[in-house]
Structure 1
Amino acid sequence: MKKITDFFWFCSGAHIETLKKYPTEHNKYVGIGATIFFTALFASLSGGYAMYFVFSGSSAAVLFAMLFGVIWGLAIFNMDRYIVASIKKTGGSNQQIYQALPRILLAIMIGIVISRPLELKIFDKEIRQKLKTSYLNGQRSKIDTLNRAFSDKYSIELAKFEELKSEKDSLEKDINRSRYILNQEVFGDKTNQTSGVTGFGTYAKQKEAIINQKEARLIQVRNDIQRIDDIINRRKEMEGLNSTLLFNEKQLDSLANVAGFADRNYALGQLSFNPDGSRDVDTYLAISFISFLFVLLECLPVFVKLMSDKGPYDVALQNIESVAIHNSEKEKDHKIVVTDNTLDTLNNAEIDKKKILIERRVKKDLEDFS
Structure 2
Amino acid sequence: MLKQFFILCSGADNKLLEGCSEGEQTKYIGIGATVFFTAVMAFIASAYALFTVFDSVYPALLFGLVWSLLIFNLDRFIVSTIRKRDKFGSEFLQATPRIILAIIIAIVISKPLEIKIFEKEINTVLLKEKNAMALENKKEVANYFKSDLDKNKAEIASLKADVTTKEQEVNTYYETYIAEAEGTAGTKKLGKGPVFKEKIAKHDLAKRELDSLQKNNLAKIAEKEQQSSLLQADLDKKLTETQPIIDGFDGLMARINALNKLPSIPSLFIMLLFLAIETSPIIAKLLSPKGEYDFKLEDLETALKATLTQDKYQRELLVKTSAAMHDKVYEDIAQDDNLYDLQRKKATELLELQAHNFVEKQKRTL
Q: Give the 3 Å change call, closer, same or farther, for CA 187–29 of structure 1 in structure 2.
A: farther
Q: Per-residue displacement from partner, 1:75-124 (whole Å, max 9, x unpaired)?
A: 11111111122222213222222222211111010011112222233333
Q: SS in structure 1 opposite 2:269?
A: helix
**Distance in 2 (alpha carbons) for counterparts of 1:169 and 1:95:** 93
Gaps of 5+ in 1: 274-279, 360-370
**Distance in 2 (alpha carbons) for counterparts of 1:311 and 1:99:** 18
Q: Which residue of 2 aligns with 1:367?
A: none
Q: Give the 3 Å change call, closer, same or farther, for CA 213–200 of structure 1 in structure 2.
A: farther
Equivalent residue in structure 1 for 2:153, among 155, 162, 185: 162
Q: Which residue of 2 aligns with 1:100?
A: 95
Within 5 Å, give how 1:83-162 maps onto structure 2: 83-131=78-126, 133-135=128-130, 137-138=132-133, 140-150=135-145, 155=147, 160-162=151-153
Gaps of 5+ in 2: 334-339, 345-366
**Distance in 1 (alpha carbons) for counterparts of 2:121 and 2:204:** 68
**Distance in 1 (alpha carbons) for counterparts of 2:254 and 2:203:** 70
Q: Which residue of 1 aligns with 2:7?
A: 9
Q: Give the 3 Å change call, closer, same or farther, for CA 159–244 of structure 1 in structure 2.
A: closer
Q: Which residue of 1 aligns with 2:253?
A: 265
Q: Which residue of 1 aligns with 2:43?
A: 44
Q: Which residue of 2 aligns with 1:331?
A: 311
Once the two structures are TM-superposed, the CA of residue 215 in structure 1 deviates from its matched residue by: 5.8
Confirm whether residue 255 of structure 1 aligns to residue 248 of structure 2. Answer: yes
**Distance in 1 (alpha carbons) for counterparts of 2:49 and 2:105:** 15
**Distance in 1 (alpha carbons) for counterparts of 2:246 and 2:140:** 24
Please say if residues 6 and 29 of structure 2, whose CA atoms lie closer than 8 Å, have aligned partners that are also in contact.
yes
Equivalent residue in structure 2 for 1:287, among 263, 267, 271: 267
Q: Give the 3 Å change call, closer, same or farther, for CA 160–328 of structure 1 in structure 2.
A: same
Q: Per-residue displacement from partner, 1:341-364 (whole Å, max 9, x unpaired)?
A: 788899999999xx88xx9xxxxx
CA RMSD for the aligned pairs? Answer: 4.5
Q: Per-residue displacement from partner, 1:206-233 (whole Å, max 9, x unpaired)?
A: 6786566456434433322333444566
**Greater alpha carbon shift after TM alignment, 118-127 vs 171-180:** 171-180
Please say if residues 45 and 69 of structure 1, whose CA atoms lie closer than 8 Å, have aligned partners that are also in contact.
yes
Q: Give the 3 Å change call, closer, same or farther, for CA 339–144 of structure 1 in structure 2.
A: farther
**Structure 2 length as normaliser, TM-score?**
0.68
Bigger Cα Rg: 2
Once the two structures are TM-superposed, the CA of residue 36 in structure 1 deviates from its matched residue by: 0.9
Q: Which residue of 2 aligns with 1:226?
A: 222
Please say if residues 164 and 221 of structure 1, whose CA atoms lie closer than 8 Å, have aligned partners that are also in contact.
no
Equivalent residue in structure 2 for 1:62, among 46, 57, 60: 57
Q: Which residue of 1 aligns with 2:279?
A: 299
Paired residues in the alignment total 325
> Could you tell me which amino acid in structure 2 is paired with residue 51 of structure 1?
L
**Greater alpha carbon shift after TM alignment, 26-35 vs 310-319:** 310-319
Once the two structures are TM-superposed, the CA of residue 299 in structure 1 deviates from its matched residue by: 1.4
Q: SS in structure 2 opposite 1:88?
A: coil
